[in-house]
Amino acid sequence: MLLRAIDRFFSHEASGGILLGLSAIAALIVANTGLQPLYDWLLNLPFAVTLNGDGLEKPLILWINDGLMAIFFFLIGLELKREILEGKLKNPRDVILPGLAAVGGMAVPAVVFAFFNWGNPETISGWAIPAATDIAFALGVLALVGSRVPAALKVFLLTLAILDDLGAIVIIALFYTADLKTTYLMLALLPLAAMLWMNMKGAHRVAPILLLGLVLWVLVLKSGVHATLAGVITAFLIPLKDKWGKSPLHALEHGLSPYVLFFIVPVFAFANAGVALDSIALSDMLAPLPLGIALGLVIGKQVGVFGMAWLVVKLGFAQLPNAVTWLHIYGLACLAGIGFTMSLFIGSLSFADPAMMDAVRLGVLSGSLVSGLLGYAVLRFSSAPAEDTAAPAVIR
């Protein structure tokens, strides 16, 4: 009975979002009780991997943010490649509406943040924090709404979130790169060339590519470029079809997805969501950094996603998906303001100071919570969809 209940939970669309939320709540509890010193000690515990005195030594929090999140981005890369070659991103006409909505949903929140932080060199670097959407949380809330949500809306949200992830990858590559060390970048071309050759040959075994990807990750990390990009590059070099017609990419994505959804992302949330609330006053919430993040997620996402979708449809470039109304689109725009995982990650790239990161956590948590509740309320009380034949989206 218990095993059956556990199996039903993990097979439910909302399970990833629920587990993510529980991890964030656990982090807040630990950070605000007597366990807080243990929490800080654990996250700052040094961990080293060296060979003959040379290697990597980082606190545990950076192993999570640079290492585990590289696997998270590796899965994103697998999904992007599959969607581009044979999925929702293959037909350009199907991408116009969610694609431009995703662009608006990244640009307007950044503008909202910049409005509150313009001229402040200490905080303006966080402009990209509210531009991200947490797909696990958003689809989890969407699943909780139930039959009132058309299946086409789930596909729309999934496509928007995939393109949002692609935008986040580009932002990280262009704007969150430290001082470059060209020697390591040149060395990184060696495993990259080997992986490219194996991809072109349609390699059946992916273990050699993954080992070369690990080498690439170390070299990219040491070069100053953020190491999560190595995960995306490695994913794009996994063959979609091998020489026997089988799909190493599909098999790897299917096998890796549960570990990312139910382990890596919750661990990241637990490590990054802990903020001490006892010393926080209303004035702290009204400071430019957390206020810019929170309003960027709540207001910026609504205006960006809904406004761009409305403009694209009214100009005749696209039309609303089957059985989807403007109220559904507005509810989806609210859900897009759940930044959480990606917002916290970009925040960790933007600020090293613990006090600044506490402000980031405050803005991300409050903005994501308001967005999630508002999106759920709008979709929950929207009219039931008409007959809907669109295929349901699959949560990653």
Task: Tell me how far apart the alpha carbons of residues 160 and 171 are, in angstroms, rounded to a whole number.
Answer: 16
Task: Tell me how far apart the alpha carbons of residues 89 and 390 are, in angstroms, rounded to a whole number.
Answer: 16
What is the secondary structure of 345-385 as a DSSP string?
Answer: HHHHHH---HHHHHHHHHHHHHHHHHHHHHHHHHHHTSPPP
Residues of the chain with pLDDT under 70: 1-14, 51-55, 178-179, 279, 281, 383-396
> Burial, 54: exposed, middle or buried (Cβ in 10 Å; 0-12, 13-18, 19+)?
exposed
Look at residue 196 in the predicted model and tell me its pLDDT: 92
Residue keyed to tokens 């909302």: 14
Residue keyed to tokens 């001490």: 276
Q: What is the dihedral of CA 348, 350, 356, 362, to 10 degrees?
A: -60
Task: Tell me how far apart the alpha carbons of residues 392 and 186 are, in angstroms, rounded to a whole number.
Answer: 44
Look at residue 141 in the predicted model and tell me its pLDDT: 82
- The reported pTM is 0.79
The dihedral of CA 246, 161, 227, 254: what is its sign? negative
> Burial, 250: exposed, middle or buried (Cβ in 10 Å; 0-12, 13-18, 19+)?
middle
The tens digit of pLDDT for each residue in 314-336 reads 999 988 888 888 999 999 999 99
- Two structure tokens written together for 139: 């689809």
Q: Which CATH superfamily does the domain covering 16-380 fall into? A: Na+/H+ antiporter like domain (1.20.1530.10)
Task: Please report, for the chain, the start and end positions of each structural domain, with discontinuous segments joined by +.
Answer: 16-380
Task: Tell me how far apart the alpha carbons of residues 228 and 74 are, in angstroms, rounded to a whole number.
Answer: 8
Residue keyed to tokens 């950076």: 62
